[in-house]
Amino acid sequence: MKKHALAKLDQQYLWHPFTQMRDWLRGEPLVIERGKGALLWDVRGREYIDANSSIWTNLHGHNHPKINAAIRKQLTKVAHTSALGLASEPSSLLGQALVKLTNPRTGLPKRQPRLARVFYSDDGSTAIEVAIKLAFEFARRTGRALKPRFLSLDGAYHGDTVGAVSAGHIELFHSAYSGMLFKTDKAMSPYCYRCPFNKAKPERADARDTRKCNLECIDKVEQQFTKREKRGSQYAAMLIEPGMQGPAGMIAQPKGWLGRVAEIARGHGTQLIADEVMSGLGRATEQYFASHDEEVQPDYLCLAKGLTGGYLPMAATLTTQEVFDAFLGDYSELKTFFHGHSYTGNALGSAASLANLTLLQTKATEAKRKKLAENLCAESKRLWHLPQVGDIRQAGCVLAVELVRNWQTREPFDLTEQAGIRVCSSLTKRGILTRHIGNVIVIMPPFCTTQQQVKKIFTALHDSIDETLNKQ
């Protein structure tokens, strides 16, 4: 078949993120034309299930009538006006909605901070960048640290801008940019499946459920704090992806970990930056925010990906009145937060987000999320009999399958074997779109995905693993 004209244009003019372009230029890229619900169609009319919600952004499905209508309605008024010196209707209403949603009346202990202010930006990375800068300044202004330093988890990923990369600990990205990053410290990540403290033999179950340990990973985090204190200083903030570390390989935290680590951080005078770019807004949690699953309210809550329902780039960093107040003063004191983007508080993005939050809070969506989580759990069980399935871990509507050479030894595939990439290519042929993270396959379809569709995803995943890794 002749290469599609749009595929040719792409290959002639574009440069894709996180993509070895030499490989990209060899094949014919899939050109997506339209979507509806959990489905996408390419320009050749082939149908796919969007099994990773278009890189974790889409919540309620594509082409949703309510979100479409909200954007159209705003479009008849104005698409964008600057937040530098001007207020707008949708951004103000969204601010109110976000503060309300992130401070539930029940479920959080009284002495936790209250999120009171919303700072908008455009992407997860910028939401983190804002939180880091605020925490840095806050630590200096409150005299807790002269040279504020940050702590984050092993394998952490908080985005690709320079500050966000500095806060992360993915070796591959770090070595590439090491000369331009600032130093941050790393604490042990609670990766039960590959934990040296976990004495349990491999079993056909989520490693968190069979683990034999004393949560030594928490002691390791605490040691990091005491080490810092011995040097006579404190961390300005600790960054955490609550519930599940997404880009690190969907590492789901064992129950109790987050609550205890938050307590330790606070006990050491350290603020918490919750990166809920992936986990938040009902994705990797039964509530709206994974922090709240462990009754933790962070000092900074970063939202992006799902904020607009997966429609437009928009992000929010929520923080407390206390932080806000540290930036108040006489103009001449220059305490202003000197940071902002051209599209901050974008009207179309805000309108989409408002519609998204309204949808999220309906009984119907609640039921869909619950059903999807159950279906993911039930349908994934068929994978356990495959010897290359090492771990299956789930948090809310996110499920991950870690592929290994042999489940009984947990021996990983070498990255150069491209096990994840090959399984995903095989999935594409079967009409299922998702991305791997190394040897981890991510299944995270929109909330509207039906039981039939979930079944189709896991049948295809089963056959793809079997075909790619078993029969070679």
Q: Which residues pair with 403 in a beta bridge?
A: 389
Instruction: Choose the binding region for ligand PLP from 99-107, 207-215, 256-264, 271-279 (rule: CB under 6 A).
Output: 271-279
| 247 lies in the binding site for ligand PLP (CB under 6 A) | yes
| Least distance between ligand PLP and beta carbon 17 (Å) | 9
- Binder among 62, 117, 158, 368 for ligand PLP (CB under 6 A): 158
| 278 lies in the binding site for ligand PLP (CB under 6 A) | yes
3-state secondary structure of 426: helix
Identify the CA nearest to 394 among candidates 207, 157, 198. 207
| Least distance between ligand PLP and beta carbon 305 (Å) | 6
- Angle between helices 347-360 and 89-102 in degrees, nearest 10: 30
Chain-centroid distance of CA 97 in Å reads 21
- Binder among 42, 275, 293, 402 for ligand PLP (CB under 6 A): 275
On whether the CB atoms of residues 443 and 376 are closer than 8 A, the answer is yes
- Count of chain residues binding ligand PLP (CB under 6 A): 15
Cα maximum dimension of the chain: 71
What does the alpha-carbon distance between residue 206 and residue 35 come to, in Å, rounded to a whole number? 33
Which CB atom, from 163 or from 247, has the smaller least distance to ligand PLP?
247
Give, for 395, the enclosing helix (H) or strand (E).
strand 389-395
| 254 lies in the binding site for ligand PLP (CB under 6 A) | no
Q: Rg of the chain over CA atoms, in angstroms?
A: 22
| Least distance between ligand PLP and beta carbon 157 (Å) | 6
3-state secondary structure of 76: coil
Contacts (CB under 6 A) with ligand PLP, residues 106-125: 123-125
Residue with the CB atom nearest ligand PLP in the bound state: 124
What does the alpha-carbon distance between residue 80 and residue 60 come to, in Å, rounded to a whole number? 24
| 241 lies in the binding site for ligand PLP (CB under 6 A) | yes
| Least distance between ligand PLP and beta carbon 424 (Å) | 18
| Least distance between ligand PLP and beta carbon 55 (Å) | 7
- Binder among 67, 277, 373, 400 for ligand PLP (CB under 6 A): 277
DSSP label of 376: H
| 154 lies in the binding site for ligand PLP (CB under 6 A) | no
On whether the CB atoms of residues 390 and 407 are closer than 8 A, the answer is yes
Which CB atom, from 42 or from 122, has the smaller least distance to ligand PLP?
122
Phi, psi of 113, deg, nearest 5: -65, 160
Give, for 75, the enclosing helix (H) or strand (E).
helix 65-75
Instruction: Choose the binding region for ligand PLP from 76-84, 130-138, 274-282, 423-431 (rule: CB under 6 A).
Output: 274-282
Per-residue interface string for the shown chain with ligand PLP, residues 295-334, x marking contact by CB under 6 A? ---------xx-----------------------------
C-alpha count within 13 angstroms, C-beta hemisphere, residue 233 = 14
Name the residues that contact ligand PLP, by CB under 6 A: 123-125, 128, 157-159, 241, 246-247, 275, 277-278, 304-305
